[in-house]
Each structure stands twice: as structure tokens, then as C-alpha cells.
Chain A
């Protein structure tokens, strides 16, 4: 009886968390992953993890959001590791195909940014997306990712150099 009540409580809490954070997590997933389908899978996987470990989600509002963001960022990192192993041999082929895509300026800009972001390590990409695209201040990025402000600033500084090189390379291509 107690466990049924506990399950109901967990269900309600998960529903509240889902309603509150799914748009924000989708946006983040979309910026970190390669496609909207992948972002949708990431949102679902994040909440399924939450359903599996409801006790580990902090009760306070900034804490629960940070927990979900960290799960999503870790999922992106795991997927990227697996994809790197799987796609190592197909990298050249994909590069050739992407060159034949639409010449529409907006789509090209989007693809360029996506490719540039994809070349950053997962944690650094998350820092850049949260700060540069979502406009979160470094202190908030640090809280969301569970790292120090110094680390956030270091990631941003390194990412700027890396992005400058990558984007210059992409624009000149």
C-alpha cells in the first residue's frame, strides 16, 4: 500500500518535472545533438532515467533542473563515444555527402555551426551551448553542469580558440 502511494507520488513528480522541463531539455538536446529526432530520443531517455532513479533527483527547483541537464549532457557524451567508434570509417563519405546539400544560406549556417559544435568535446560543447546560445551566465552554467566557474571559463576560452579555427576552416572551404 505504501509502495503504491510512493509510486503515485513518483508519477506525479515525474509528470511535473516533464511538463516543466521538456521544452528546455529538447532545446538543449537539439543544440547538442545532430538532429531533432536525436534530441527527442535524448529527452525521452533523460526522463526514463529519472523514472528509474526518482530518489536521486533533488527536490529543490534549481537542483532538479541541473540533475536533468547533467543526465542529458552525459547521454550526449555516451552517444558520441559510441558514434565515434561506429562511424570512424564513414567520416570521409559523410563529409562528401554533406557538401552536396542545399545551398540555402540559413541551412548552410546551421550546418556549419552544427559541424563546428560537433567537433568540440561533449562537456565543452555543453558549456558553449549553455553560455553562448542559451545566454546562461558562467555561474549558472557551472551550477547546471556541476563544475566550477573556473572550469566553465577555461572551457569557454579554449572553445573560442577551437571554434575560431574550425569556423575559419569551414568558411574558407
Chain B
């Protein structure tokens, strides 16, 4: 079986440099022509001119979103503070059992209306739960 002799690092380097793709067969370094340079330069600068500044639009959108959130939060705070109710998923099993026990001992008392909750997820992925106080009356 014929075994190939491996090329050493120096030979590989020499072959690579002799056949350098950036050097033309005459030994001169290949380069862009002045026309090509001018053309690319013009197109790049034109593109930079046409591109609208992204951060400004983003800042505007973020400001609008923030203003909306503040408005909604203000309205919620005016309506009333959060209250735990029987359907609240945030309520633990123990709390739920305690609520049930309390309800059975106060069998004679008028049953309070269940609190309503509104669940939603923001664009950023934050889960928001609003609890509406049933005792609140405008």
C-alpha cells in the first residue's frame, strides 16, 4: 500500500503564498478599480442617507407604550387595590382551603360577590393580573 507523504507547514505556507488569490499572475495585488470604488462608495452613502434613524422611531413607540401603561395603571389604582378571590390562580391551595373554611362558618352571613380578575400578557412577556374589588361602587 502506497503511503502519501504529508506536506509540512512551511511547504503549505509556500504553496498558499505562491497561489495567493489576491495576487494576479503578474505578481501585482488585485484591487478595486477607482470606478468600482467610487460606485460602491456612492451606493453605501446613498443607503445611509435613505435609512431612517431606527432609534428615534423606537423611542417614539416606547414613549407611547409607556404613556398607555401609565394611564391604565392610574385607572386601576383609582378603581381599587387588588383583592384575592376564589378564582385567582395566584391563590395557593392552603389559602383556598382557608377561604372555603371561612365560608362554611359564616353560612348565615350574606355571601360576598366574587372578585373579578383580568389576565393579560404584555408584549414583553410580563403576565399581569388585575383584581377588581367587588365592594367598590362608583
Contact = CB atoms under 8 A, between A and B. Distances in A.
A3 B50 CA distance: 12
A67 interface: no
A47 B36 CA distance: 14
Nearest to B53: A3
24 contacts: A7-B48, A10-B48, A11-B45, A14-B48, A22-B32, A22-B40, A22-B41, A26-B32, A27-B22, A40-B40, A44-B40, A55-B55, A104-B25, A110-B20, A111-B19, A112-B15, A112-B19, A113-B16, A132-B13, A132-B16, A163-B12, A165-B6, A167-B12, A168-B6
List 8 A-B pairs, minimum CB-CB distance, nearest first. A113-B19, A109-B19, A106-B25, A51-B48, A47-B44, A51-B47, A164-B7, A30-B22
Interface of A: 2-3, 6-7, 10-11, 14-15, 18-19, 22-23, 26-27, 30-31, 36, 39-40, 43-44, 47-48, 50-52, 54-55, 104, 106-107, 109-114, 116-117, 128, 132-133, 160-161, 163-165, 167-168
Contact of B21 (A10, A114, A161, A163): A114
A116 B21 CA distance: 11
Contacts of A133: 16-17, 20, 22
A168 B31 contact: no
B56 interface: yes
Contacts of A167: 7, 12, 15
Nearest to A172: B4
A14 B6 CA distance: 46
A30 B15 CA distance: 17
